[in-house]
Every structure is written in C-alpha cells, then in structure tokens.
Amino acid sequence: MRRRGSGDRHRGAQQALALVAAELPRGTRIAVGPSTYPAALSAFADHAIVEHGSADATYVIAGVSNPHGVDLLGDAFPDGELIVDEAYAELRFDGRVPPPVAPRAPHRVWHVGTMSKTLCPGLRIGWLVPPPHRRASVLERKLAADLQTASLTQVAFARLLDVIDYDRMLVGARHRYAARADRLCSALRRYAPEVRYRDPEGGFSIWVETDDAGDDIDLLAAAIDSGVSLDPGRLFTPAARETAAFRLSFSHAPAGALEEGARRIATALRRWRTSET
C-alpha cells in the first residue's frame, strides 16, 4: 500500500500549508492569533507547535481574516518566517485589494493563495510561492506527495478565466456578500445585543464572542435544536477559551433568511445559558 503523503490529504491552498509546515524544522513554533483558520491549525499540527504569541514563524491571513472578516495584519510585519494566507484578499467589500506581502521580504515570506473563495472551491486550485532558496526543496516534496496537481482541473480553470470577466464577477460577489453581512450584523444587534463582533470588511463570516463560560459544543446543539447552525469557537483556537465564541457564515444563506437566522441564534444562546447554569 502506498504511504499517504500531504498530497493525499490536502489539495489546493490546504496542501500549500501542509508543504510549508513540512519544510520548517520539526518542532518549529508557529504563532497564530487567538482565533484563526482551523484547517491551518490542522496542517501545522503534525510538524510544528502552534501557539498564540511570539514564536519562530507566524501564520497570518492578510486582507480579510477567517473567522473575523476583518484585516488583522494591517501594516504589521512580524519577525521570522512569515506564512501569509491571502485566500480572502480579493473579497474586501471596499474593493481595496492589498498588494501581496511577499515582495516586502521574499527571503522569509511563504505566500499562499487560492481560487476556492472567489471562483471554484471544488476544483481545489491553489498555489504556494516559497522563499527563493526553498523553492527546489518544496518542488521535490510536492513531487513526492502527488507528482503534480491534476492537469484537467488546471486546464478547465484556465479555460474558465478565458471566457468570464473575472474582475466584474468579483465586483458582484463583493456587493452580494457585503449586503448579506450588513443584514446579519443588523439582525444580531437587534436580537442578541449582548454578544460582541466586528462588522466584517470582507469575506464570508463574522467572529462572535460572548461573556459566558460553557461548552460550545452544547451551544452548537442548542443552535441545531433552534433550526440554525454555527461553528464552535474551539475549532479556531490553539488553546482553550474561558468564554464561548463562535463563527457565523453568511456566504451561502439567502439574504432573506439572515434575520431569521440571527433570531434563532439568540434563541439558542438563551437555551444554552439556561442549560449551563
């Protein structure tokens, strides 16, 4: 039986994150925010120590973060190896796509990109631009993992870009997501004014924090019982939280359903608080 490598478990930008983790010395400490992309935590776990705070390397989501929906990097530029995930950068509602971070320090920045958030998640099209002195090693590791990314999907994607107006499509996507985000946030202010979140600047989601201690899996169960869903905060954090948090996504929900969804979230929070006391 062939041994499963990183190429068997991941595709697209997710494989890029796994390749970066495998390239760093085993046991490298990778700093992340107090909450970040769960699949990045998973990709790093086999090779690195993931923690919140200073470390040997830093993982950041530039332009628009997941799960927060805001730019958490800004003008900051951490020291050491820098893994920059720019998956949502083109989905800023204001259309200000920040320039790639890599040119600022190409010798230590690993640039990760994908089309999964803007165009075609099913094709798993992503890329990795490593520091120049690591390129040959990464190519060897990629070859050992899966020989190459499927040619058919790459050709299909290239053909798609030939026949659509990608920039115009982005404008429409930003407009739709911005309208959904506004509707969801407005409804949360109405039905659950006690929770905290930042109005998103782009992307698909918001990060909601509470002042309540308790099991967020129980909160998920209460949400499902109320006819809605959420992503428990524990999935996004490298360490246990003292209070519950969760991600709400608005990418696929019909705009007209978001207010009702917020009302059901508020109902779930009340049921959960009652059950936890």
Same domain, yes or no: 146 and 261: no
Same domain, yes or no: 11 and 132: yes
Say what the pLDDT of residue 10 is: 65
Residue with tokens 């994607």: 157
Say what the pLDDT of residue 74 is: 86
Same domain, yes or no: 157 and 203: no
Q: Which residues of 104-125 are buried (b: 16+ CB within 10 A; e: fewer)?
A: eeeebbbbbbbbbbbbbeebbb
* pLDDT band for position 135 (cuts 50, 70, 90): very high
Interval 84-98: pLDDT, tens: 999 999 999 999 999
* pLDDT band for position 254 (cuts 50, 70, 90): confident
Strand partners, 248: 206
Domain boundary among 144, 163, 182: 163
Interval 188-243: pLDDT, tens: 999 999 999 999 999 999 999 999 999 999 999 999 999 999 999 999 999 999 99
Using CA atoms, how far residue 215 sits from 23, 122, 140, 222, 238, in Å, is: 36, 33, 44, 11, 16
Say what the pLDDT of residue 177 is: 96
211 in any annotated domain: yes
1 in any annotated domain: no
Strand partners, 109: 82
Same domain, yes or no: 145 and 33: yes
Domain that holds residue 38: 6-163
Domain boundary among 163, 179, 200: 163
Same domain, yes or no: 12 and 103: yes
Interval 54-74: pLDDT, tens: 899 999 999 999 999 999 998
Percent residues over pLDDT 90 in the chain: 85
Same domain, yes or no: 62 and 156: yes
* pLDDT band for position 6 (cuts 50, 70, 90): very low
Selected residue with higher pLDDT from 76 and 176: 176
